[in-house]
Structure 1
Amino acid sequence: MTALVIDSVPHGRLTTNDVARLRELFDAEYSAEFGAWDPDQPYGYAPHDHHLIARAGDEIVGHVGWARRTIGVGAAEVMVAGVGGVLISPRARGQRVGARLLIHAAASMTDAGGIEFGYLGCREEVVSFYESCGWRRISAVEHSIDRTGQPTTQPSGPPILTLALGPNPRTWPAGSIDLRGRAW
Protein backbone atom coordinates (compact mmCIF):
# COMPACT_ATOMS: atom_id res chain seq x y z
CA MET A 1 0.00 0.00 0.00
CA THR A 2 1.17 3.55 -0.77
CA ALA A 3 2.26 5.68 2.18
CA LEU A 4 -0.67 6.47 4.45
CA VAL A 5 -1.68 10.07 5.17
CA ILE A 6 -4.37 10.91 7.74
CA ASP A 7 -6.23 14.17 7.29
CA SER A 8 -8.51 15.84 9.81
CA VAL A 9 -11.35 17.56 7.93
CA PRO A 10 -14.28 19.55 9.38
CA HIS A 11 -17.54 18.40 7.77
CA GLY A 12 -18.11 21.73 6.01
CA ARG A 13 -14.68 21.52 4.39
CA LEU A 14 -15.10 18.13 2.71
CA THR A 15 -14.36 18.60 -0.97
CA THR A 16 -16.56 17.23 -3.72
CA ASN A 17 -13.81 14.67 -4.34
CA ASP A 18 -13.71 13.72 -0.63
CA VAL A 19 -17.47 13.12 -0.62
CA ALA A 20 -17.27 11.03 -3.81
CA ARG A 21 -14.39 8.90 -2.47
CA LEU A 22 -16.05 8.47 0.93
CA ARG A 23 -19.27 7.42 -0.82
CA GLU A 24 -17.27 4.77 -2.74
CA LEU A 25 -15.75 3.48 0.52
CA PHE A 26 -19.06 3.33 2.39
CA ASP A 27 -21.22 2.07 -0.48
CA ALA A 28 -18.78 -0.78 -1.20
CA GLU A 29 -19.43 -2.02 2.35
CA TYR A 30 -23.03 -1.02 3.09
CA SER A 31 -25.08 -0.14 -0.01
CA ALA A 32 -26.66 -3.60 -0.38
CA GLU A 33 -28.06 -3.40 3.17
CA PHE A 34 -28.60 0.35 3.69
CA GLY A 35 -28.63 2.03 0.26
CA ALA A 36 -26.51 5.00 -0.77
CA TRP A 37 -24.35 6.84 1.75
CA ASP A 38 -25.44 10.40 2.55
CA PRO A 39 -22.79 12.53 4.31
CA ASP A 40 -25.48 14.64 6.01
CA GLN A 41 -27.33 11.65 7.52
CA PRO A 42 -25.24 8.52 7.01
CA TYR A 43 -27.60 5.54 6.83
CA GLY A 44 -30.04 7.34 9.13
CA TYR A 45 -27.50 7.93 11.90
CA ALA A 46 -26.32 11.33 13.16
CA PRO A 47 -23.92 13.15 10.85
CA HIS A 48 -20.33 13.94 11.79
CA ASP A 49 -18.88 17.37 12.55
CA HIS A 50 -15.37 16.12 11.92
CA HIS A 51 -13.82 13.44 9.70
CA LEU A 52 -10.50 11.65 10.05
CA ILE A 53 -9.65 10.34 6.59
CA ALA A 54 -6.90 7.85 5.78
CA ARG A 55 -5.55 8.24 2.26
CA ALA A 56 -3.21 6.02 0.27
CA GLY A 57 -2.38 8.06 -2.82
CA ASP A 58 -5.66 9.22 -4.36
CA GLU A 59 -7.69 6.51 -2.61
CA ILE A 60 -9.54 6.91 0.70
CA VAL A 61 -8.84 3.70 2.62
CA GLY A 62 -10.31 4.57 6.02
CA HIS A 63 -12.60 6.91 7.92
CA VAL A 64 -13.63 7.83 11.46
CA GLY A 65 -16.23 10.54 12.05
CA TRP A 66 -17.26 12.28 15.26
CA ALA A 67 -19.70 14.93 16.44
CA ARG A 68 -19.77 16.99 19.64
CA ARG A 69 -22.91 16.67 21.78
CA THR A 70 -23.94 17.10 25.41
CA ILE A 71 -25.72 13.96 26.57
CA GLY A 72 -27.37 12.98 29.83
CA VAL A 73 -25.88 10.21 31.96
CA GLY A 74 -27.86 9.60 35.14
CA ALA A 75 -28.05 13.07 36.74
CA ALA A 76 -24.90 14.30 34.94
CA GLU A 77 -24.38 16.28 31.75
CA VAL A 78 -21.47 14.92 29.72
CA MET A 79 -19.86 16.47 26.65
CA VAL A 80 -18.97 13.66 24.26
CA ALA A 81 -17.63 13.20 20.79
CA GLY A 82 -20.00 10.63 19.35
CA VAL A 83 -18.01 8.40 17.02
CA GLY A 84 -19.32 6.64 13.95
CA GLY A 85 -18.48 5.76 10.40
CA VAL A 86 -15.44 3.74 11.41
CA LEU A 87 -14.56 1.89 8.23
CA ILE A 88 -11.39 0.55 6.64
CA SER A 89 -11.29 -0.60 3.02
CA PRO A 90 -10.67 -4.33 2.57
CA ARG A 91 -7.26 -3.70 0.97
CA ALA A 92 -6.07 -1.70 4.02
CA ARG A 93 -7.33 -4.04 6.75
CA GLY A 94 -4.75 -5.75 8.95
CA GLN A 95 -2.31 -2.84 8.59
CA ARG A 96 -3.31 -0.93 11.79
CA VAL A 97 -5.02 1.81 9.74
CA GLY A 98 -8.01 1.71 12.13
CA ALA A 99 -5.82 2.07 15.20
CA ARG A 100 -3.96 4.99 13.64
CA LEU A 101 -7.24 6.68 12.71
CA LEU A 102 -8.53 6.28 16.30
CA ILE A 103 -5.34 7.83 17.69
CA HIS A 104 -5.80 10.80 15.37
CA ALA A 105 -9.50 11.00 16.25
CA ALA A 106 -8.74 11.10 19.99
CA ALA A 107 -6.18 13.86 19.41
CA SER A 108 -8.67 15.90 17.36
CA MET A 109 -11.36 15.46 20.04
CA THR A 110 -8.92 16.66 22.70
CA ASP A 111 -7.75 19.57 20.54
CA ALA A 112 -11.38 20.63 19.99
CA GLY A 113 -11.57 21.40 23.73
CA GLY A 114 -14.27 20.67 26.28
CA ILE A 115 -14.95 17.11 25.16
CA GLU A 116 -14.73 14.72 28.11
CA PHE A 117 -15.22 11.37 26.37
CA GLY A 118 -15.30 9.68 23.03
CA TYR A 119 -18.50 7.60 22.81
CA LEU A 120 -19.52 4.83 20.44
CA GLY A 121 -21.72 1.81 20.00
CA CYS A 122 -20.56 -1.14 17.92
CA ARG A 123 -21.03 -4.80 17.07
CA GLU A 124 -19.84 -7.37 19.60
CA GLU A 125 -17.24 -8.75 17.17
CA VAL A 126 -15.26 -5.47 17.08
CA VAL A 127 -15.23 -4.68 20.82
CA SER A 128 -11.76 -6.18 21.28
CA PHE A 129 -10.38 -3.90 18.54
CA TYR A 130 -11.67 -0.78 20.30
CA GLU A 131 -10.45 -2.03 23.68
CA SER A 132 -6.98 -2.58 22.18
CA CYS A 133 -7.06 1.12 21.24
CA GLY A 134 -7.80 2.21 24.83
CA TRP A 135 -11.59 2.37 24.73
CA ARG A 136 -13.49 1.01 27.75
CA ARG A 137 -16.74 -0.93 27.59
CA ILE A 138 -19.55 0.28 29.81
CA SER A 139 -22.96 -1.17 30.52
CA ALA A 140 -26.02 1.07 30.61
CA VAL A 141 -29.52 1.55 29.25
CA GLU A 142 -29.33 3.91 26.27
CA HIS A 143 -32.11 6.21 25.03
CA SER A 144 -31.85 7.73 21.56
CA ILE A 145 -33.68 8.52 18.36
CA ASP A 146 -33.51 5.55 15.99
CA ARG A 147 -32.60 5.63 12.31
CA THR A 148 -36.27 6.16 11.37
CA GLY A 149 -36.63 9.17 13.69
CA GLN A 150 -38.47 7.40 16.53
CA PRO A 151 -37.50 7.36 20.24
CA THR A 152 -35.95 4.04 21.23
CA THR A 153 -34.46 2.41 24.31
CA GLN A 154 -31.64 -0.11 24.14
CA PRO A 155 -31.38 -2.30 27.23
CA SER A 156 -28.08 -2.68 29.02
CA GLY A 157 -25.80 -5.21 27.33
CA PRO A 158 -25.05 -4.32 23.69
CA PRO A 159 -21.60 -2.78 23.31
CA ILE A 160 -21.13 0.84 24.32
CA LEU A 161 -17.56 2.08 24.61
CA THR A 162 -16.06 5.30 25.98
CA LEU A 163 -12.64 6.90 25.82
CA ALA A 164 -11.74 9.33 28.63
CA LEU A 165 -10.06 12.45 27.21
CA GLY A 166 -8.06 15.35 28.53
CA PRO A 167 -5.19 15.81 30.96
CA ASN A 168 -7.30 14.86 34.02
CA PRO A 169 -9.86 12.39 32.69
CA ARG A 170 -12.79 11.58 34.94
CA THR A 171 -14.59 8.29 35.40
CA TRP A 172 -17.71 7.69 33.33
CA PRO A 173 -20.73 8.56 35.53
CA ALA A 174 -23.30 5.96 36.57
CA GLY A 175 -26.82 5.88 35.20
CA SER A 176 -28.86 5.47 32.08
CA ILE A 177 -27.74 7.36 28.99
CA ASP A 178 -29.83 9.80 26.98
CA LEU A 179 -28.09 10.57 23.68
CA ARG A 180 -30.53 13.43 23.06
CA GLY A 181 -30.63 12.57 19.40
CA ARG A 182 -29.57 9.87 16.97
CA ALA A 183 -26.61 7.60 17.63
CA TRP A 184 -23.55 8.04 15.46
Structure 2
Amino acid sequence: MTSFAIEVTPHARLTVDDMAGLRALFDAEYLADFGAWDPDQPYGYAPHDVHVTARRGDTIVGHVGWERRIIGVGADDVAVAGVGGVLISPHARGDRLGARLLARAAESMASAGDVRFGYLGCREEVVPFYEACGWRRITASERSIDRTGRPVTQPPGPPLLTLPLGPDPSPWPTGSIDLRGRAW
Protein backbone atom coordinates (compact mmCIF):
# COMPACT_ATOMS: atom_id res chain seq x y z
CA MET A 1 0.00 0.00 0.00
CA THR A 2 1.32 3.41 -0.97
CA SER A 3 2.18 5.81 1.85
CA PHE A 4 0.25 9.07 2.04
CA ALA A 5 0.39 11.87 4.59
CA ILE A 6 -3.15 12.76 5.67
CA GLU A 7 -3.68 16.20 7.20
CA VAL A 8 -6.68 18.05 8.66
CA THR A 9 -6.49 21.79 8.07
CA PRO A 10 -9.00 24.53 8.90
CA HIS A 11 -9.75 26.59 5.79
CA ALA A 12 -8.28 29.76 7.32
CA ARG A 13 -4.94 27.97 7.82
CA LEU A 14 -4.46 26.79 4.24
CA THR A 15 -1.21 28.11 2.83
CA VAL A 16 -0.69 29.53 -0.63
CA ASP A 17 0.90 26.18 -1.57
CA ASP A 18 -2.08 24.28 -0.14
CA MET A 19 -4.47 26.38 -2.24
CA ALA A 20 -2.36 25.81 -5.35
CA GLY A 21 -2.30 22.06 -4.68
CA LEU A 22 -6.06 21.91 -4.19
CA ARG A 23 -6.63 23.99 -7.32
CA ALA A 24 -4.41 21.61 -9.32
CA LEU A 25 -6.26 18.54 -7.97
CA PHE A 26 -9.72 19.92 -8.69
CA ASP A 27 -8.90 21.56 -12.02
CA ALA A 28 -7.34 18.33 -13.31
CA GLU A 29 -10.71 16.64 -12.79
CA TYR A 30 -13.28 19.38 -13.40
CA LEU A 31 -11.80 22.33 -15.33
CA ALA A 32 -13.12 21.30 -18.74
CA ASP A 33 -16.69 20.75 -17.51
CA PHE A 34 -17.08 23.30 -14.70
CA GLY A 35 -14.30 25.88 -15.02
CA ALA A 36 -11.67 26.83 -12.49
CA TRP A 37 -11.97 25.77 -8.86
CA ASP A 38 -12.97 28.59 -6.48
CA PRO A 39 -12.34 27.83 -2.79
CA ASP A 40 -15.05 30.28 -1.70
CA GLN A 41 -17.77 28.65 -3.81
CA PRO A 42 -16.42 25.45 -5.37
CA TYR A 43 -18.37 24.88 -8.59
CA GLY A 44 -21.35 26.72 -7.09
CA TYR A 45 -21.51 24.59 -3.95
CA ALA A 46 -20.91 25.61 -0.32
CA PRO A 47 -17.30 26.13 0.78
CA HIS A 48 -15.57 24.04 3.44
CA ASP A 49 -14.51 24.98 6.97
CA VAL A 50 -12.13 22.03 7.16
CA HIS A 51 -10.03 20.29 4.50
CA VAL A 52 -8.78 16.73 4.93
CA THR A 53 -6.02 16.23 2.39
CA ALA A 54 -3.75 13.42 1.35
CA ARG A 55 -0.27 14.09 0.02
CA ARG A 56 2.23 11.99 -1.78
CA GLY A 57 5.42 13.97 -1.26
CA ASP A 58 4.53 17.62 -1.86
CA THR A 59 1.56 16.86 -4.12
CA ILE A 60 -2.05 16.87 -2.87
CA VAL A 61 -3.64 13.72 -4.30
CA GLY A 62 -6.87 13.51 -2.30
CA HIS A 63 -9.40 15.73 -0.55
CA VAL A 64 -12.53 15.65 1.60
CA GLY A 65 -13.98 18.96 2.75
CA TRP A 66 -16.66 19.67 5.33
CA GLU A 67 -18.57 22.60 6.74
CA ARG A 68 -20.41 22.76 10.07
CA ARG A 69 -23.98 23.98 9.72
CA ILE A 70 -27.30 23.81 11.56
CA ILE A 71 -29.90 22.41 9.17
CA GLY A 72 -33.61 21.76 9.60
CA VAL A 73 -34.88 18.18 9.63
CA GLY A 74 -38.62 18.01 10.19
CA ALA A 75 -39.16 20.07 13.36
CA ASP A 76 -35.56 19.61 14.57
CA ASP A 77 -32.41 21.72 14.22
CA VAL A 78 -29.50 19.37 13.56
CA ALA A 79 -25.77 20.20 13.62
CA VAL A 80 -24.13 18.50 10.65
CA ALA A 81 -20.80 18.43 8.90
CA GLY A 82 -21.79 18.86 5.27
CA VAL A 83 -19.30 16.91 3.18
CA GLY A 84 -18.20 17.74 -0.33
CA GLY A 85 -15.20 17.90 -2.57
CA VAL A 86 -14.43 14.19 -2.19
CA LEU A 87 -11.78 13.63 -4.84
CA ILE A 88 -8.85 11.30 -5.38
CA SER A 89 -6.31 11.91 -8.14
CA PRO A 90 -6.39 9.16 -10.80
CA HIS A 91 -2.73 8.49 -9.93
CA ALA A 92 -3.63 7.70 -6.31
CA ARG A 93 -6.64 5.46 -6.82
CA GLY A 94 -6.64 1.79 -5.88
CA ASP A 95 -5.01 2.11 -2.44
CA ARG A 96 -8.26 2.71 -0.47
CA LEU A 97 -7.18 6.32 -0.01
CA GLY A 98 -10.78 7.52 -0.30
CA ALA A 99 -11.84 5.32 2.62
CA ARG A 100 -8.85 6.48 4.67
CA LEU A 101 -9.66 10.14 3.97
CA LEU A 102 -13.32 9.65 4.91
CA ALA A 103 -12.32 7.92 8.16
CA ARG A 104 -10.00 10.80 9.06
CA ALA A 105 -12.70 13.31 8.10
CA ALA A 106 -15.17 11.49 10.40
CA GLU A 107 -12.65 11.70 13.26
CA SER A 108 -12.27 15.44 12.69
CA MET A 109 -16.05 15.92 12.55
CA ALA A 110 -16.54 13.98 15.78
CA SER A 111 -13.78 15.93 17.52
CA ALA A 112 -15.49 19.21 16.55
CA GLY A 113 -17.67 18.49 19.59
CA ASP A 114 -21.13 19.59 18.59
CA VAL A 115 -21.60 17.95 15.18
CA ARG A 116 -24.13 15.10 15.36
CA PHE A 117 -23.90 13.76 11.79
CA GLY A 118 -21.89 13.84 8.63
CA TYR A 119 -24.19 14.64 5.69
CA LEU A 120 -23.71 14.38 1.95
CA GLY A 121 -25.46 14.00 -1.37
CA CYS A 122 -23.84 12.07 -4.19
CA ARG A 123 -24.32 10.26 -7.49
CA GLU A 124 -26.04 6.88 -7.40
CA GLU A 125 -22.95 5.03 -8.66
CA VAL A 126 -20.84 6.03 -5.63
CA VAL A 127 -23.41 5.12 -2.94
CA PRO A 128 -21.84 1.65 -2.38
CA PHE A 129 -18.46 3.28 -1.67
CA TYR A 130 -19.93 5.57 1.00
CA GLU A 131 -21.98 2.76 2.52
CA ALA A 132 -18.82 0.62 2.74
CA CYS A 133 -17.31 3.52 4.73
CA GLY A 134 -20.18 3.44 7.26
CA TRP A 135 -22.51 6.06 5.79
CA ARG A 136 -26.26 5.31 5.78
CA ARG A 137 -28.65 6.22 3.01
CA ILE A 138 -31.75 8.17 4.00
CA THR A 139 -34.84 9.12 2.03
CA ALA A 140 -36.25 12.63 2.37
CA SER A 141 -37.02 15.73 0.36
CA GLU A 142 -34.21 18.27 0.47
CA ARG A 143 -34.45 22.05 0.18
CA SER A 144 -31.33 24.04 -0.66
CA ILE A 145 -29.93 26.89 -2.70
CA ASP A 146 -28.83 25.51 -6.06
CA ARG A 147 -25.55 26.22 -7.83
CA THR A 148 -27.08 29.24 -9.59
CA GLY A 149 -28.31 30.77 -6.31
CA ARG A 150 -31.99 29.84 -6.55
CA PRO A 151 -34.03 27.93 -3.94
CA VAL A 152 -34.83 24.39 -5.04
CA THR A 153 -36.58 21.42 -3.45
CA GLN A 154 -35.53 17.94 -4.49
CA PRO A 155 -38.16 15.24 -3.96
CA PRO A 156 -37.16 12.05 -2.13
CA GLY A 157 -35.05 9.68 -4.20
CA PRO A 158 -31.60 11.07 -5.09
CA PRO A 159 -28.87 9.72 -2.79
CA LEU A 160 -28.56 11.43 0.59
CA LEU A 161 -26.30 9.83 3.18
CA THR A 162 -25.60 10.46 6.85
CA LEU A 163 -22.92 9.32 9.27
CA PRO A 164 -23.84 9.30 12.97
CA LEU A 165 -21.03 10.80 15.06
CA GLY A 166 -19.99 10.83 18.69
CA PRO A 167 -19.74 8.29 21.47
CA ASP A 168 -23.52 7.78 21.65
CA PRO A 169 -24.81 8.38 18.11
CA SER A 170 -28.50 9.03 17.70
CA PRO A 171 -30.73 7.99 14.80
CA TRP A 172 -31.33 10.48 12.00
CA PRO A 173 -34.55 12.42 12.67
CA THR A 174 -37.51 12.05 10.32
CA GLY A 175 -38.88 14.75 8.08
CA SER A 176 -37.99 16.91 5.14
CA ILE A 177 -34.54 18.51 5.13
CA ASP A 178 -33.75 22.20 4.76
CA LEU A 179 -30.03 22.74 4.22
CA ARG A 180 -30.49 26.46 4.90
CA GLY A 181 -27.97 27.23 2.19
CA ARG A 182 -26.08 25.58 -0.62
CA ALA A 183 -25.37 21.87 -0.72
CA TRP A 184 -21.79 20.70 -0.41
Q: Same fold (TM over 0.5)?
A: yes
TM tier relative to shorter chain: over 0.9
Distance in 2 between residues matched to 1:164 and 1:142, nearest whole Å: 19
* Percent of matched pairs sharing the same residue: 73
Distance in 1 between residues matched to 2:111 and 2:19, nearest whole Å: 24
Distance in 1 between residues matched to 2:33 and 2:137, nearest whole Å: 27
What is the Cα deviation at residue 114 of structure 1?
Answer: 0.5
Distance in 2 between residues matched to 1:119 and 1:17, nearest whole Å: 29
RMSD (CA atoms): 0.8
Matching residue of 2:182: 182
Distance in 1 between residues matched to 2:3 and 2:159, nearest whole Å: 33
Q: Is the 8 A contact 1:3 1:57 kept in 2?
A: no
Distance in 2 between residues matched to 1:104 and 1:117, nearest whole Å: 14
Distance in 1 between residues matched to 2:62 and 2:106, nearest whole Å: 16
- Tell me the TM-score normalised to structure 2 length: 0.98
Distance in 1 between residues matched to 2:112 and 2:74, nearest whole Å: 25
After TM superposition, list the pairs within 5 Å mapping 1:63-74 onto structure 2.
Answer: 63-74=63-74
Q: Is the 8 A contact 2:54 2:61 kept in 1?
A: yes
Deviations 1:67-98 (A, max 9, x none): 00000000111000000000000011111000
Matching residue of 2:18: 18
Unmatched 5+ residue regions in structure 2? none
Give the secondary-structure state (helix, strand or coil) at the position aligned to 2:152.
strand
Matching residue of 2:99: 99
After TM superposition, list the pairs within 5 Å mapping 1:18-167 onto structure 2.
Answer: 18-167=18-167
Deviations 1:98-121 (A, max 9, x none): 000000000000111110000000
Give the secondary-structure state (helix, strand or coil) at the position aligned to 1:48.
coil
Deviations 1:36-74 (A, max 9, x none): 000111001000000000000011110000000000000
Distance in 1 between residues matched to 2:167 and 2:59, nearest whole Å: 35
1:86 maps to a residue whose letter is V
- Tell me the TM-score normalised to structure 1 length: 0.98
Distance in 2 between residues matched to 1:15 and 1:30, nearest whole Å: 22
Give the secondary-structure state (helix, strand or coil) at the position aligned to 1:169.
coil
Deviations 1:129-172 (A, max 9, x none): 00000000000000000011100011100000000000110000
What is the Cα deviation at residue 2 of structure 1?
Answer: 5.7
Say how many residue pairs are matched: 184
Distance in 2 between residues matched to 1:32 and 1:162, nearest whole Å: 30
Distance in 2 between residues matched to 1:173 and 1:112, nearest whole Å: 21
Give the secondary-structure state (helix, strand or coil) at the position aligned to 2:167.
coil
